[in-house]
Amino acid sequence: MNPSGSFGISTMRPCCRLLIGCRGSAFFGFLPPTCQHSLANNLSGFRYKLLQHRQLHSNSPRIFGFKCVANPDQRPFRSPDSNWGQSRVFSRCCNVGQDRGTSFIANVASDVRHHSTSIDSHVNDKSFEKIYIQGGIKVKPLVVERIERGVDEGKGQEQQEHVHPVETSEGLKETEISTHKREVTEIEKEAWKLLQNAVVNYCGSPIGTVAANDPADKMPLNYDQVFIRDFVPSALAFLLRGEGEIVRNFLLHTLQLQSWEKTVDCYSPGQGLMPASFKVRTVPLDGSTGTFEEVLDPDFGESAIGRVAPVDSGLWWIILLRAYGKITGDYALQERVDVQTGIKLILNLCLTDGFDMFPSLLVTDGSCMIDRRMGIHGHPLEIQALFYSALRCSREMLTVDDGSKNLVTAINNRLSALSFHIREYYWVDMKKINEIYRYKTEEYSTDAINKFNIYPDQIPSWLVEWIPEQGGYLIGNLQPAHMDFRFFTLGNLWSIVSSLGTPKQNEGILNLIEDKWDDLVGQMPLKICYPSLDYEEWRIITGGDPKNTPWSYHNGGSWPTLLWQFTLACIKMKRPELARKAITLAEERLSMDQWPEYYDTRNGRFIGKQSRLYQTWTIAGYLTSKMLLDNPEMASMLLMDEDYEVLQTCRCALSKTGRKKCSRGAAKAQILV
């Protein structure tokens, strides 16, 4: 717990106060007059759903306000005032063009979090949903922190010694790393400059990076927004060169967006959902002319093409939170009560029981990096790898107390079951394909060999030729009577990074990538998936999507951003030379081609048909890869080793009645392939 924190006020900058709660003057140093008024009227009635301190301007129908309400039975999160139309909320910040010192925001999410001192979850009755904030207004807020507090305060001495940003004549910071001094290349300098230009400010502080920053693009759609998943490589690039502020701001502001009441038509997705992206908008300040304020406008999928659910956002947020702590040494951030509650809300959403039979996470199509229909609904590998990773990161970060111990047990149980499930059923190599080829079907029993009733005919003809003698990979998806044999790069790489795969499997995946270099790397690293869906398959599975034609975009396109995950995986498996080879290849073209989002054709020769240029995660992925290679010891902070405890739990669970003695050795024998 951060000892300095006790009340709900955060400030971004002295000139731009951001109220993390608006509940009563006892809790806050100050309140805007209108807020004081509404609180005075409503607090006595126990209702405290909301707390918009000032009604927003009604000339923007998308802006939503919140009112203090007085129904103790309702969910203690705010809900939009239904008179105001569709739920669209902004987090407000500060005025632009007037004295910022007098502007405020009521950020209820964080305020509400301050009441959440425990998660009422019992592993056996699985009541994680009871995480809803307890205690109402009578609970004293526990945390107060100034968002502006720099990372340096909490930074470990050890880390400070690694990275020293230095100003160059161009005003750009170059990274001079004590362990590896080398000249920063012209391409890297250009990349840093572009990354810097992509930075988005909110109330005068950096808060993220736009997805793409092409000045010639007249139709940016939502590429001018900060995407959670896209920001991860930017965040790592900044962290690796000693700049933590932007990451800290990003983590805290997205946390505030997390609990927004959001609706898609009349339906509200779960409160732990993180947005896919957000935009900083400048809107007129109510009641005044010529003055404006900045607001955060999140998109939870309600505007996204296809209305896809950003399942991966929360998982990436947790992964980034851990990385931030590891690299900066500022562990106080993850210990904050609001941050702890944020983690729990995400886990709550992921661990809630449904109808599913598997420990893997059940999601709809397009719920991750591939955010269009591509036949990845069900249990796609990418989500499973991120889920596994986020569970491990959370277990490391959660403060264990009476309120969280059941959750931690649940995490451990899920980790064991998930890792067993993926290792056992997703893995394919020559031997396994041959087994599937000879599968018997329609086995009705608990000890069926072909548990998912896979018809051998499903083995695609390309795979028969493609599967190498050595190595293998984790398949894209597994459902009853369905194995998606496509190779999905991010899921496989993140399985290595997080140790979801066994050490032998992880080795096998890199062997396969090396063996199939022409297919998976070709002229531009790396294919998002292999192979593409063609002809009828493309028509039926993508719905005839003209953006996802064969070997384009998500359907077998090449995405240079995947370089950073590849580099991490190579470093972990002690094969940095593979990453170096891929980076060298990318370096030959990225700058010349204006940093495209993706490349098309079977071997990645052409810039993608509809590819954005100056795509930030292409730029950041490249920079992060370079820095990781230069500083493998930093990379190791992002990697996770085999977790024998998880294996042991799994071994115990597998022996069902516990008749067999559980031992670490037995666990290894059982799960390690």
| Contact set with ligand GLC (CB under 6 A) | 211, 227, 229-230, 369, 371
Least CB distance from residue 636 to ligand GLC, whole Å?
A: 27
Closest to ligand GLC by CB, 230 or 335: 230
Q: Residue 610: how many CA atoms within 13 Å on its side-chain side?
A: 13
Element (H, E) at 327: helix 311-328
Closest to ligand GLC by CB, 48 or 559: 559
> Other CB atoms closer than 10 Å to residue 616's CB: what's the count?
30
Contact 16, 145 (CB under 8 A): no
Closest to ligand GLC by CB, 225 or 249: 225
Residue 151 φ then ψ, to 5°? -70, -25
Closest to ligand GLC by CB, 19 or 198: 198
Least CB distance from residue 528 to ligand GLC, whole Å?
A: 9
Element (H, E) at 651: helix 644-654
Longest alpha-carbon distance in the chain: 76
Closest to ligand GLC by CB, 229 or 336: 229
Least CB distance from residue 229 to ligand GLC, whole Å?
A: 5
Least CB distance from residue 367 to ligand GLC, whole Å?
A: 11
* Tokens representing residue 364 in the block: 């709809």
> Other CB atoms closer than 10 Å to residue 455's CB: what's the count?
14
Element (H, E) at 578: helix 576-587
Quickly list H helices, 5-89: 33-42
d(CA 228, CA 277): 6
Contact 560, 579 (CB under 8 A): no
Least CB distance from residue 224 to ligand GLC, whole Å?
A: 10
Residue 534 φ then ψ, to 5°? -115, 165
Instruction: Write the Ramachandran bin of 150: left for phi over 0, alpha for psi from -120 to 50, otherwise beta.
Output: beta
**The 3-state secondary structure of 464-508, one letter per residue:** HHHCCCCCEEEEEEEECCEEEEEEEHHHHHHHHHHCCCCHHHHHH
Closest to ligand GLC by CB, 66 or 598: 598
Closest to ligand GLC by CB, 53 or 229: 229
d(CA 451, CA 447): 8
Contacts of 510 (CB under 8 A, 6+ apart): 471, 496, 569, 570, 573, 575, 578
Least CB distance from residue 308 to ligand GLC, whole Å?
A: 9
Closest to ligand GLC by CB, 48 or 553: 553
Candidates 18, 5, 326, 3; CA nearest to 145 is 5
Least CB distance from residue 227 to ligand GLC, whole Å?
A: 4
Contacts of 145 (CB under 8 A, 6+ apart): 2, 4, 5, 10, 336
Closest to ligand GLC by CB, 211 or 459: 211
* Tokens representing residue 409 in the block: 């047990």
Closest to ligand GLC by CB, 243 or 312: 312
Least CB distance from residue 312 to ligand GLC, whole Å?
A: 9
d(CA 593, CA 300): 32
> Other CB atoms closer than 10 Å to residue 359's CB: what's the count?
19
Closest to ligand GLC by CB, 230 or 338: 230
Least CB distance from residue 548 to ligand GLC, whole Å?
A: 10
Contact 315, 389 (CB under 8 A): yes
Least CB distance from residue 316 to ligand GLC, whole Å?
A: 10
Contact 557, 525 (CB under 8 A): no
* Tokens representing residue 132 in the block: 């809803």
Least CB distance from residue 288 to ligand GLC, whole Å?
A: 35
Nearest-CB residue for ligand GLC:
211
Contacts of 317 (CB under 8 A, 6+ apart): 228, 251, 254, 255, 274, 342, 346
**Neighbour-count burial of 60, counting CB atoms closer than 10 A to its CB (0-12 exposed, 13-18 middle, 19+ buried):** middle
Least CB distance from residue 614 to ligand GLC, whole Å?
A: 11
Least CB distance from residue 273 to ligand GLC, whole Å?
A: 16
The DSSP code sequence of 145-191 is --TT--HHHH--HHHHTTEEEEE-TTS-EEEEESS---PPPHHHHHH
Least CB distance from residue 285 to ligand GLC, whole Å?
A: 30
Contact 327, 637 (CB under 8 A): yes
Closest to ligand GLC by CB, 209 or 495: 209
Closest to ligand GLC by CB, 313 or 384: 313
Least CB distance from residue 271 to ligand GLC, whole Å?
A: 23
Residue 509 φ then ψ, to 5°? -65, -45
Cis peptide before 526 (omega within 30 of 0): yes
Least CB distance from residue 231 to ligand GLC, whole Å?
A: 9
Residue 565 φ then ψ, to 5°? -70, -35
Closest to ligand GLC by CB, 211 or 526: 211
Which amino acid makes up residue 363? V
Closest to ligand GLC by CB, 119 or 232: 232
> Other CB atoms closer than 10 Å to residue 427's CB: what's the count?
21
Closest to ligand GLC by CB, 210 or 496: 210
Least CB distance from residue 369 to ligand GLC, whole Å?
A: 4
Closest to ligand GLC by CB, 572 or 612: 612
Partners of residue 479 on adjacent β-strands: 482
